[in-house]
Amino acid sequence: MSREGNGKNVIWILADQLRADALSVNGDPNVSTPNIDNLALQGINFNRAVSGTPLCSPYRGALLTGCYPHKSSVAGHDFTLNPKRHTIAEVFNGAGYDTLYYGKWHLEGLNPRIGTGVDPQKQFVPRDHRGKFSTWVGYENNNSQFNCWVHGHDGEQEVPLHRLPGFETDSLVDMGLQKIRYYGEEKKEGRNRPFFMVISVQPPHDPYIAPARFMGKYNSRKLVMKDNVPPYGEFQKRARQELAGYYALIENLDWNVGRILNELRENGLDLDTHIIFFSDHGDMHGSHGMFRKTNPYEEAIRVPFIIGGEMPMTYYDSKSGVSDLPVNHVDAAPTTLGLCDLEIPEWMEGTDYSWVRSASRVPGEIPDSAYLQSVVPTRHYDSIDIPYRGIVTRDGWKYVCLENQEWLLFNLNDDPLELINLAHNSLYIDKRIELNRRLKEWARDTEDDFNVPDVPYLVRETPRQPLEGMEESI
């Protein structure tokens, strides 16, 4: 790798609250996502990717810094990203790239707004708080896709606060398309300056309302529901109604992904651009009796992570297929730099998985698991609101602890819907000890001061007699 890299472009398409199984390529029978499906089929679909912290702000802090949330300065919701923190944009800037960010930020935090009377939709993000992107046009947080206000800067030119002219995803993608056309013209004239672009959209995050032509495609009563959604009348009714809008938003997002792919082809940039499609966390939609996010169940932590793009010499230099590697939020930045053959700074804690896509890259050490964290509770409704730590292993186990006790243990290979919690089952004491030790190693290695509990020793029918060869605790 070098400081200059290979000159390839990268586009991050970052959705909010999109769970991995809500794509037709990943088996959802309700939704049609042909453009995302093609991206996955031509590229690498990481079907075991997770959101190690299933909540907007801490995920985004980890994403941009390549550091775990407890070290990124964004440990919880509405925390502020310290402007002194290094970000991936800095690395690309140093390599001569244009760096562009469009859309949802959610890293400025709540404190600058308290007591000001400022409409949250119009909260100003100072220039030195914009992650060091050379172009940044976005907003802090705005759960209103039809009334979205943005501001920022385009190079040296200030972009005043203004309302987007249409639906949020459509308008933000319009901005990206305009820049793609600009880079296409530059290439024709022999000025081939590479770019790193982020298009960060709020949908399919609630409210679950999409443009009418997409909403009209989904009848809530005809949806196929997951078997871990309780069958009770009013509960199912809510889950179905929200899910119908969710799918409509996803289909709109897929349509916009198609627009991006077409614009790259029309401007001769399709063979020069890596596209990474992913999400900050999932959405429960009634599974296990919960809605939204923050918990460690599959619907909340399992996210799409797809590396696509029509690379030249596809059959020789680029690989495609499905990967079960445990990609996490801190891995996105080093993987992206690896795709561009750029040096990965020491302050990034994640793993470079670019070798899975590029045959010219050499694999490094592969983690056996991904680390899960809820660092600071946020009082989000309809979900879990308590600190926890956990791991998801490559061989299909999930283990999660609270500070005072074990909480969850699932064999995802046999129980993908997580209906059988084995965390307090004495039959699985050896597996509990094994995973507990690994979880403690994750906490130690990441300098996380969370107190992972000991596994209590197992007794026979005669009291106070631990099993042979076992200590009282670990």
Report the 3 state secondary structure along 370-409: EEEEECCCCCCCCCCCCCEEEEEECCCEEEEECCCCEEEE
- pLDDT at residue 312, as a whole number: 54
- pLDDT range class, residue 288, cuts 50, 70, 90: very high
Residue 3, pLDDT score? 60
CATH topology of domain 9-367: Alkaline Phosphatase, subunit A (3.40.720)
Give the C-alpha separation, 46 to 306, whole Å: 6
| pLDDT at residue 311 in the model | 63
Nearest one of 9, 51, 47, 3 to 25, comparing CA atoms: 47
Write the DSSP symbol of residue 365: P
Identify the band that residue 315 occupies on the pLDDT scale cut at 50, 70 and 90.
very low
Mean pLDDT of 306-320: 67
Note the pLDDT of residue 383: 82
pLDDT in tens, 377-404: 876 777 888 899 999 999 999 999 999 8
What is the signed CA dihedral for 412, 417, 419, 425, rounded to 10 degrees?
10
Tell whether the model's pLDDT for residue 218 goes beyond 80: yes
pLDDT reading at 346 higher than 80 = yes
Q: Evaluate if residue 371 carries a pLDDT over 80.
A: yes
- Mean confidence (pLDDT) of the chain: 91
**C-alpha triplet 411, 62, 169: angle, nearest 5°:** 95
CA angle 407, 292, 25 (to 5 degrees): 100
Classified as helix, coil or strand, 2 is: strand
DSSP string, 137-172: EEES----TTS-EEEEEETTEEEEEEE-SS-HHHHH
The pLDDT score that the predictor gives to residue 467 is: 47
pLDDT band at 202 (very low <50, low <70, confident <90, very high): very high
Give the pairing type, strands 135-139 and 98-104: parallel
- Give Dmax over CA atoms of the chain in angstroms: 84
What is the per-residue pLDDT across 49-107, written as a single tens digit (0 to 9) for each?
A: 999 999 999 999 999 999 999 999 998 888 899 999 999 999 999 999 999 999 999 99
pLDDT greater than 50 at residue 172: yes
pLDDT at 135: 98
d(CA 365, CA 234): 49
Enter the tokens of residue 189: 């004239």
Kindly give the pairing relationship between strand 388-393 and strand 397-401: antiparallel
Kindly state the DSSP code that residue 463 receives in the 8-state scheme: T
Whether this prediction's pTM lies above 0.85 is answered by yes
Domain residue ranges of the chain, discontinuous segments joined by +: 9-367, 387-445
H/E segment holding residue 90? helix 88-94
pLDDT tens string 4-53: 778 899 999 999 999 999 999 999 999 999 999 999 999 999 999 999 99
